[in-house]
Structure 1
Amino acid sequence: MTRFPRLLLACLLAGTACIHRDFPQQLRIHQNLPDSGPEFSFVLYQSVGVGLRPGHVVELVQDDHILEAFESEIRQARTSLHLVTSSWQPGEASERLLHAFENRQPGVVCRVLVDPRDSPDFVEQVQPRLVQAGCDVRSFRPFVGSEVIFDDERLSARNHRQLLIRDGLSGLTGGAGVGPAAWRDTYVHVEGPSVRQFQRAFAEGWQEASGELLPDSAFPVLAPQGEARAGFVASSGSPSLSHSERMVQVLIASARHRLWLTNACFVPTAATADMLIRKAREGVDVRVLVPGSRHGGPPGMLSAQRTSYERLLENGVRLWEYQPTPLHARTILVDERLAAVGSMSLEPRSSSMLSEGTLVVEDPQLARALASSFERDLTSAVEIRRDGWRQRGLFDRFAYQLPASVVGCR
């Protein structure tokens, strides 16, 4: 049997697709970058067109407190509420949000944009109540209609941004949407100039789904609110190099002694793996927290995730798998001041096909809170050690050595 049929057979037996968008010319930053201050802001601006502006108050919001923060924002709204999410599923969280929207202040305009791919039963069970409550509800690239029903590429290019914007003055963003059960997630609540970037990201999707622009009143002048420097990086899928990929490369290259990543969809490209390894070899404390075997996501996700383990472990990167609940957080912590929280997944499909959003923040207080959260999560995770990984069984060795494309990661 020739080499190609053997590889094809291996792909079929492993149940994963041997399709991996990984090009030799992928971006690899070959210099150490500043990790804070105007110098870092300018590096980020060069890379993605977004710098870090001063004047923000940014607060970490996690797990059950995320829903509470959503309810609080809806109660406080006086002019408008804009929500875009990749997933809205019926359940307790959905009921609480529906109740909040139904009881918002009179005259508050409500616009909701939902991606239907990971929102089963939304149209039947949730949308009618939102419409009855006076919300304008749209689907992002729906699965019916003459333009998209037979267009596979368009159907695969989904929204994965998670945003709630209140009155154009404050916003929330994080890793996942409205789910039916508890899971581990991290959001940030922000006030300050970058909320205007949140609103623009919402407007982009809303314009496509509705054919309408937001009114001028949706973009009020935003006065400085605090000391944190922040910028929102909105990324659209690109077959070559997305803003999400550029941003991740900049953040990794900026690390001097600490680089802690939590990611719900971790199938790093060769370029990302190379950068993590380079930092570990330089003596940076590189740690990665990913979903565990009990909550490994959609079929094939765990196998895809583990394809990178051997090379990373052999080169000093430390890995943990989170155990108690599904993990949906997507965060990066660099040294003592720099943090990123959003929806970015470290897997090829996220960069090539999905619209993502991440808030990059320079703020020692937020960095300390994220570091404490990360350390708590490690107490509920299992570290994958190099020696133990070498001794895994033959089936695991075979199953986890193949590249895979990830479909359906939320």
Structure 2
Amino acid sequence: MQFDLLHVGPLVALAHILGVIAACHAILNTRTSQGAIAWAVSLVAMPYLTLVPYLFLGRSKFAGYADARRVENELLRTRAHPPEWDTQASSAGLPTQQLGFRFVHSLTRLGGMPFLPGNSVRTLVNGAATFKAIFEAIEGARHYVIVQFFIVRDDALGEMLKDALIAKASQGVRVYFLYDSIGSFDLPHRYVAALRAGGVETHPFATNRRFVNRLQLNFRNHRKIVAVDGECAFVGGHNVGVEYLGGKPPLSPWRDTHIEVRGPAVASIQFVFTEDWHWATQQLPEFDMPAPTPGDSPDSQGMHCLVVPSGPADKQETCSLFFVEAINAARERIWITTPYLVPDEAVFAALRLAVLRGVDVRILIPCRRDHRVVFAASKLYAYDSLRAGIRIFRYQPGFLHQKVILIDSVAAAIGSANLDNRSFRLNFEIMVLTVDRGFAQEVETMLLNDFAESLEIDRNEYRQASALRRVLLHVARLFSPIL
């Protein structure tokens, strides 16, 4: 026993010393005070459990990364931006009439991209419709295809995508394939090798090009983008895996939404891919944009779209502020669907103020969990939201993964961003905001169908929970800034 203590004692002391050092590092480098407190307390109190996770997750801002990515993006936007950004006004017309000049001005400055008219957008509900449309677009490609996903699996759906891309490359079509190195950590080398051997330009998106940061798990590229020939683009919540087709019990059926965009906004979506591809490869993909047709003119009828990319290298916290502005713009209703309800204080305050203005505020979340701690934290935020007058619904049939915002009866945003700190500050995301009453009506109908299959929760659920369960919920929320 004495021999064991002689060995264990120094190890315990070393763990606490390293915990204090890591806590100091967290205080100096974590982007939010809540996150700094969460890491510091856990590292000092439980270094045996938190030192290793901090090594992978905690260094949310490391030397040079944000500055290097920001400078690269600014150079690209100055020298290689789509010509549509120069020829079409972004602060006049329908968006300003429906949402106000200040809203349009702030969001275009926030995302660094303009509102563009003359688009058509349609919703793709669930995986079958989404991938049917994507594969049809790839099949019809004549010049180039770009594909970017957070998760790519080597399963039946992944094989279909690989075969489709290789087939187009064999026809002389340029194919670019970008996947996140952490989200697709289990993607086997043979899958990537087969794509490259088939002529597909394939590359992982890594956090940083330097070996010292290869243990970094933050700053993931959570975007999902497919574009073909500059004519159509797909954005939304689906990744590549059979679970997104409902093939993974007990989460199935999987509820998700993508959109198909046609028109000038496709160039903006492609440019987001260009920034990511250039960061990953230091090369620019070759895009031959189609010549504009009479239907593409600024005066033509069509939907107005704003592409809002966000990421940890932004000057502002773009994603969080996008949610705040969308909520503040609502005068009648703001409906949000998200798999993870872990808002920061700014977003939560905007939601509460919307209720006080008399806005119909609804949030739709899943009733099934895919991440235990995040799910527990989401439940407590749901109960807090109820006390503020926010209506919370749980989707019953299966796992809800869609990311949708409906603003009044005039605008809707769909993309990859969740209502949590990872999307707000740690991941690269993309949202497409569409201002059009017809499209907003389409999204409203889709969400009403979802609400019809959901259960609205009330305050009694929390009150009736056991004391232990309530304690566990509060403990989970302590980690919300780093989830």
| TM class by smaller structure | 0.7 to 0.9
CA deviations over 1:278-303 (Å, ceiling 9, x no partner): 111221111101122x3x12231101
Letter in structure 2 aligned against 1:260: W
CA distance in 1, matches of 2:97, 2:451: 25
Q: Secondary structure of the residue that 2:261 maps to in structure 1?
A: strand
Does residue 227 of structure 2 align to residue 137 of structure 1?
A: no
Shift in alpha-carbon separation, 1:168–1:350, aligned structure 2, 3 A:
same
Deviation at 1:110, TM superposition (A): 0.4
Letter in structure 2 aligned against 1:171: A
Does residue 370 of structure 2 align to residue 305 of structure 1?
A: no
CA deviations over 1:61-112 (Å, ceiling 9, x no partner): 1211011011011011110001111111122321222232233371110000
CA distance in 1, matches of 2:96, 2:381: 28
What are the equivalent positions in structure 2 for 1:162-311 lying under 5 Å apart? Answer: 162-181=224-243, 182=246, 183-215=254-286, 217=288, 223-224=296-297, 226-238=301-313, 241-292=316-367, 294=368, 296-311=369-384
Does residue 158 of structure 2 align to residue 90 of structure 1?
A: no
Shift in alpha-carbon separation, 1:330–1:123, aligned structure 2, 3 A:
same
Deviation at 1:135, TM superposition (A): 0.6
Letter in structure 2 aligned against 1:367: A
Does residue 181 of structure 2 align to residue 116 of structure 1?
A: yes
Are 2:319 and 2:425, in contact at CA under 8 Å, matched by a contact in 1? no
Select 2:213's aligned residue among 148, 151, 154: 148
Deviation at 1:248, TM superposition (A): 1.0
CA distance in 2, matches of 1:311, 1:232: 32
Are 1:259 and 1:334, in contact at CA under 8 Å, matched by a contact in 2? yes
CA distance in 2, matches of 1:221, 1:371: 32
Shift in alpha-carbon separation, 1:240–1:205, aligned structure 2, 3 A:
closer
Are 1:89 and 1:120, in contact at CA under 8 Å, matched by a contact in 2? no
Letter in structure 2 aligned against 1:266: L
- Provide the TM-score with structure 2 as the length reference: 0.73
Are 2:207 and 2:220, in contact at CA under 8 Å, matched by a contact in 1? no
Q: Secondary structure of the residue that 1:138 maps to in structure 2?
A: strand
Shift in alpha-carbon separation, 1:187–1:385, aligned structure 2, 3 A:
same
Letter in structure 2 aligned against 1:82: I
Which residue of 1 is the match for residue 123 of structure 2? 60
Does residue 143 of structure 2 align to residue 79 of structure 1?
A: yes
CA distance in 2, matches of 1:70, 1:406: 35
Shift in alpha-carbon separation, 1:273–1:96, aligned structure 2, 3 A:
same
Are 2:138 and 2:164, in contact at CA under 8 Å, matched by a contact in 1? yes
Between 225-234 and 330-339, report the one with greater CA deviation.
225-234
CA distance in 2, matches of 1:89, 1:407: 26
CA deviations over 1:316-370 (Å, ceiling 9, x no partner): 1011122322222101001111000001111112222111100000011211111
Does residue 418 of structure 2 align to residue 345 of structure 1?
A: yes
Shift in alpha-carbon separation, 1:142–1:236, aligned structure 2, 3 A:
closer
Tell me how large the CA RMSD over aligned residues is: 3.0
Does residue 436 of structure 2 align to residue 373 of structure 1?
A: no
Gapped regions of structure 2 (runs ≥ 5) = 1-37, 60-94, 247-253
CA distance in 1, matches of 2:301, 2:360: 30
Gapped regions of structure 1 (runs ≥ 5) = 22-32
Deviation at 1:268, TM superposition (A): 0.4
Between 196-205 and 218-227, report the one with greater CA deviation.
218-227
Deviation at 1:207, TM superposition (A): 0.7
CA deviations over 1:378-410 (Å, ceiling 9, x no partner): 2332222123332222122112223324778xx
CA distance in 1, matches of 2:283, 2:133: 28
Relative contact order: is structure 1 or structure 2 higher (C-alpha 8 Å, sep ≥ 6)? 1
Are 2:207 and 2:219, in contact at CA under 8 Å, matched by a contact in 1? no
Does residue 109 of structure 2 align to residue 49 of structure 1?
A: no
Between 107-116 and 208-217, report the one with greater CA deviation.
208-217
The alignment of Structure 1 onto Structure 2 pairs a total of residues equal to: 385
Larger Rg: 2
- Percent of residue pairs identical: 26
CA distance in 2, matches of 1:20, 1:389: 31
Select 2:479's aligned residue among 393, 404, 409: 404
Deviation at 1:239, TM superposition (A): 8.5
Select 1:389's aligned residue among 462, 470, 477: 462
Deviation at 1:185, TM superposition (A): 1.1
Shift in alpha-carbon separation, 1:123–1:305, aligned structure 2, 3 A:
same
Are 2:154 and 2:188, in contact at CA under 8 Å, matched by a contact in 1? no
Which residue of 1 is the match for residue 164 of structure 2? 100
